[in-house]
Structure 1
Amino acid sequence: MNNAAEHHAGGLVLLGGASGADKSYLARTYGRPHLLLDAFYREISEDSTADGPALPRTVYGEIDWDDPLTWNLDAAVDAIVELLETGRTRVPVYSITSSSVTGYEDVELNGGPLVAEGIFAAELPRALSRLGLLPGTDFHAWYIDQHRFPTAARRFARDVAERRKPVPFLVQRGWSLMRQERLIREHYLAAGFVPVPKRELHRRLSGP
């Protein structure tokens, strides 16, 4: 599915990596367009049903926003398919601070590549393959390969600056993610992602 020596030439690029790995920066810089997969998070209003909590919990009792069940895979797939087939789609504007959708925006394909990124990108190759929509050699799934310590530091600084969640929650989440990063990497590789250092990703995404 992937060839580590290839450059992209348009098409679809999935960027994976731990939270804080700079996926959004790379996608914003090189994507035409950048599709933010975090826009498809489920809303906190979905966390109440007659049978109890609807969203998964961490071991310390908070909603586990790093669990794929807090994310709407079908909506993300629909957006990717519509972008590739029609050149345009409408995506939610999602507030991580309030865990809710605050509006919608139009996203247009501007010559490609479509660079989609988010912590749940590993869920996409299988879903897209089932639909027969992976565009052959124009499809790439790359994992941002870097040491866990700078990733953790960048993640914490970003989340505090953006006031994404209360600081005690961010400390617990950050420590948990840093311990799990090897497993996160293995999950991406098992899904078909190729590990690529960030410097090399800049080269590949900037074109031949």
Structure 2
Amino acid sequence: MHAQVIVVAGPSGSGKSRLCSRLQEHPGVPVVNLDDFYKNGDDPTLPRISLAPGQEIVDWDDPTSWSQDDALDALERLCRDGAADIPVYDIARDGRVGSTSLALAGASYVVAEGLFAQEVVRGCRERGLLADAVCVRNHRLVTFWRRLTRDLREHRKPPLVLLRRGWLLMRAEPDVVAHAVSCGATPMTPDEAYTRLSALVVPVTGRSSRRG
């Protein structure tokens, strides 16, 4: 085993990616975006949801829209072999557009973040990969606004779809956090999560390791 996995879960727009960017400021902290393991938009097994009469879209917030097995296998290859191919997913095109090779380069930890990150906690623990798991959370209105501005800026979907979807996600947010906790993630604010996780990854930069 070359490395272990730090899982960063949380509702869409809660600040997972920003937290991971802060952690990457410490040299030698690779990050796997688990959202790249979404299924392609033409996959017949994708779940669907109705936002309004006659307006049906893929329910990208349903775990069955995502490949848990592919994500776990890639994390295990990365931790055990030191490198793995990770798909590249284009949200605007609803599909994978290629892949990229990720290497540990001597890192003791790899951070795995994404909308369904909590779904890999149990599998990582069973495979001996898990180092820690957190669920990033904010006030629901803060998360709603951050998510909406991000999705509009990136032109992910038509504005009305984003607004309606965002409203549904805001109402469901307490259940999302509760589910992550039931999966084994510890709920905390982004700053609390940074303090906790940086205590793990900072030894990669040269301080004494806490792993023993």
Of 121, 125, 128, which residue of structure 1 is paired with 2:124?
Answer: 128
Q: Which of 40, 43, 46 is residue 40 of structure 2 equivalent to?
A: 43
Q: Following TM superposition, by how much is the alpha carbon of 1:28 offset from its aligned partner in structure 2, in angstroms? A: 2.8
1:92 aligns with 2:87: yes
Q: Which amino acid aligns with 1:114?
A: V
Q: 2:190 aligns with which of 189, 194, 198?
A: 198
Residue in structure 2 matching 1:12, options 5, 20, 23: 5
User: Which of 102, 110, 113 is 1:107 aligned to?
Assistant: 102
| TM-score between the two structures when normalised by the length of structure 2 | 0.84
What does residue range 25-174 of structure 1 map to in structure 2 within 5 Å? 25-31=18-24, 32-47=29-44, 54-60=45-51, 61-110=56-105, 111-130=107-126, 132-135=127-130, 139-174=131-166
Higher strand share: 2
TM score, norm. by length of structure 1? 0.86
- Name the CA distance, whole Å, in 1 between partners of 2:87 and 2:157: 20
| Aligned match of 1:4 | none
How many residue pairs were aligned?
A: 189
Q: Distance in 2 between matches of 1:42 and 1:206?
A: 32
**What fraction of aligned residue pairs are identical, expressed as a percent?**
36
Supply the AA of the counterpart residue of 1:19.
S
Rounded Cα–Cα distance in structure 1 between residues aligned with 2:22 and 2:103:
16
Distance 1:128 1:202 in 2: 21
Shift of 1:109: 1.3
- 2:41 maps to a residue whose letter is I
Deviation at 1:75, TM superposition (A): 0.7
Structure 1 CA distance for aligned equivalents of residues 141 and 186 of structure 2: 21
Question: Quick check: 1:81–1:133 contact (8 Å CA) kept in 2?
Answer: no
Q: Which residue identity is paired with 2:33? A: L
Q: Paired residue for 2:176, among 184, 191, 208?
A: 184
Provide Cα deviations, 1:106-157, integer angstroms capped at 9, x if missing partner. Answer: 1111413211000101111222344x3234xxx1110112111111100000
Structure 1 unaligned spans of 5+: 1-9, 48-53
Could you tell me whether the CA contact under 8 Å between 1:13 and 1:115 is conserved in 2? Answer: yes
- Runs of 4 or more, structure 1, over 3 Å off, are none
